Chains A and B, each alone.
Chain A
Amino acid sequence: MTSYLGGRLVYALFVLWGALTIVFVAVRVIPGDPAQMMIGSEGTRQDVEALRHRLGLDQPLATQYARYLAGAARLDFGASLRLEEPATQAVSERLPATALLAGSAMTLAIAVGLPLGILAAIRIRSAVDYVVSIASLLGQSVPNFWLGIMFILIFARQFRWLPSAGIGGMEHLVLPAVTLALLLIGVLTRLVRSGLLEVVDEDYIRSAYAKGLTRRAVIARHALPNVLIPVVTIVGLQLGNLLAGAVIVETVFAWPGAGRLLVDAISNRDYPVVQVGVLCITAGFILINLLVDLSYAYIDPRIRYR
């Protein structure tokens, strides 16, 4: 177990280094000098040079890279080029909003997707099954940014039930969280349904019925636990997509989260913020994958890590 964790940790560091290096190269290939962009067209050549010096952009690439990695190890990426604060702080201030949004969406998706999937599997080829199938197909095909706009149009503009933008009480959370959750609900429902249908013919299910268990007990104690492994895997993988989806949903609903900050930072050439944002997302993704793999051992006692 320890050596397994050690191996995963080394691999995680390798992936983080890869992501950091890709970002380092990418932001320096972007056309447009950030110093020139910050000062604008009125600035003199001397002003631009002074700023380039302050940002370290006049150093050789190798020196920049070494400084960059050393800074990354201390989680210090320097000051944001646009906001009057360190980049790490700018991102970490907005992370809770993103976490709230993604967490609510995930909770909602599990609370709705799991029961719907079970229902569709129990009543296979019934009206419920077809409705669930069509709904989950739509949930996966309809672009979430458009769906968000339609929600604003209907629930914020037409009926004026809910606010369309910003952060605040529960009512601000409803539309973005539902928009973000819909995709995941579709995936989960299909997965639970097909997983359950695959195990219904197994011997242990027949045995469970034969010893007199009710259908509820058979599903809850014998069928569902075997469906959980793919479900946990997909939920874990989808968390990454959820973070990515949050970028778009945050843009639609003007949600002050880290995703929107990252998109703004990319278009403003705010290197330090881009670097912190990418690092956070990659680290989160690695952590989620590790937790998913470790959880297998608890869900399925046959799995052991050495």
Chain B
Amino acid sequence: MTAASMSAPVSMSSVPAAVGRARRRLLWWSAPLVAFALVAVVGPMVVPYDPVTVRLGDRLAPPGTLLPDGPRAWLGTDQVGKDLVAQVLQGARISLIVGVATVLAAGAVGLVAGVAAGYRGGTLDAVLMRLADLQLAFPSILLAILIAAVLGRSVANVIITLSVTRWVTFARIARASSLVTKEREFVTAALATGAGTLRLVRRHIVPFTVTPLVVVATVELGLVILAEASLSFLGLGTTPAHPSWGLIIANGRDYLTTGWWISTIPGLALSVVVVTVGQFGDAVRDYLDPHTGSR
């Protein structure tokens, strides 16, 4: 389909205008996202974050200050004199790691649970979906707060917590598309040729759940990054050794009068990333699934 028309030597005019527009939009929004990923990966290598050293002489320097020992603190320093550039870059990495890992873990669990429920049906389906309903009956951030309190603070625990609160969305989507797919003729045909359940599911059911799951994953990525920041803000996320944006914002709350930049700057970065991911998610949906596009 689209992939074929991209590789085949056809002129752009043979691609419907809407698809072309969706593709341009996708490219346009993926650029800032790639930039974010690059900054998150490379940034902390260039400006390493040192959680231990305290420079009380440099404390609460406003953005752009030339520090006494030479370097310029472009984004200012916090109450113990740590450079905010290093913290924000480290925070970007944590947002990226938590976001991607959570979406992958929740997506994998959701895919297995959803396909099993949709393909098998019966008791398994009923139990899994009641469990999903039960979980949806509860605001996810509150569930996250509870689980995070049980597990304690660490990057890995935040990923586990958020995966537990997010798998349901993936499971529902995977279930819905397996329900539709299993009724199609090629599944019956595969059954008739003697394909085993595992092969049938892997070769004929799962491929059809991938597109909707990718769409959900891009939308969820922004929500997960926000949820991580909220948990860290409440003191239930990462530890100060891994300064997440939420944690830096919480830290800056006590210095609003003397150091407005501590809370302001990571929040700006967080907002920009979430807006970008959201727009990218919309673009992915429009591109992969033009029928349900937004107006």
A residues neighboring B (CB under 8 Å)? 15, 18-19, 22-23, 26, 29-31, 137-138, 140-143, 145-146, 149-150, 152-153, 157, 194, 197, 240-241, 243-245, 247-248, 251-252, 262-263, 266-267, 274, 278, 281-282, 285-286, 289
Contacts and interface: CB of A to CB of B under 8 A. Distances in A.
Given A157-B260, A243-B142, A285-B137, 18 more contacts: A26-B150, A30-B149, A141-B275, A143-B267, A143-B274, A145-B233, A145-B249, A146-B270, A149-B256, A153-B263, A153-B264, A241-B141, A247-B142, A247-B145, A247-B234, A252-B253, A266-B146, A282-B138
18 contacts: A22-B146, A138-B271, A141-B275, A142-B275, A143-B267, A145-B233, A149-B256, A153-B256, A153-B260, A153-B264, A157-B256, A240-B139, A243-B142, A245-B141, A248-B141, A248-B234, A252-B253, A266-B146
Interface of B: 134, 137-142, 145-147, 149-150, 152, 222, 226, 229-230, 233-236, 246, 249, 252-253, 256-257, 260, 263-264, 267, 270-271, 274-275, 278, 294-295
A267 B252 CA distance: 21
A145 B263 CA distance: 10
A283 to B, nearest CB: 11
- The binding surface of chain B is classed by DSSP as helix
B288 to A, nearest CB: 20
Contacts of A285: 137-139
B174 to A, nearest CB: 22
A31 B295 CA distance: 50
A284 B189 CA distance: 49
Contacts of B295: 194, 197
B234 A263 contact: yes
B260 to A, nearest CB: 6
Nearest to A147: B267
Sorted nearest first, the 7 A-B pairs with minimum C-beta distance are A146-B267, A244-B139, A141-B274, A266-B149, A141-B275, A244-B141, A142-B271
Contact of A243 (B134, B139, B236): B139
A28 to B, nearest CB: 10
Contacts of A29: 150
Contact of B235 (A18, A267, A286): A267
A153 B267 CA distance: 13
A244 B275 CA distance: 21
A143 B224 CA distance: 12
A43 to B, nearest CB: 23
Contact of B149 (A146, A157, A267, A286): A267
A146 B278 contact: no
B13 to A, nearest CB: 26
A34 B145 CA distance: 18
Given A26-B150, A143-B229, A241 B139 contact: yes
Nearest to A11: B133
B294 A194 contact: yes
Contacts of B257: 157
Contact of B252 (A22, A149, A248): A149
A150 B264 contact: yes
Contacts of B256: 149, 152-153, 157
Highest count of chain B CB atoms <10 Å: which of A15, A141, A248, A278: A141
B270 A149 contact: no
Contacts of B146: 22-23, 26, 266, 274, 278
Nearest to B282: A137
B199 to A, nearest CB: 36
Contacts of A252: 253
B271 A244 contact: no
B141 A150 contact: no
Given A248-B233, A285-B138, A149 B249 contact: yes
A152 B137 CA distance: 33
A285 B270 CA distance: 29
Contacts of A138: 271, 275
B263 A149 contact: yes
A241 to B, nearest CB: 6
Contacts of A19: 134, 137-138
Contact of B134 (A15, A146, A241, A262): A15
Nearest to A193: B295
B137 A141 contact: no
Contacts of B234: 247-248, 251, 263
Contacts of A146: 229, 249, 263, 267, 270-271
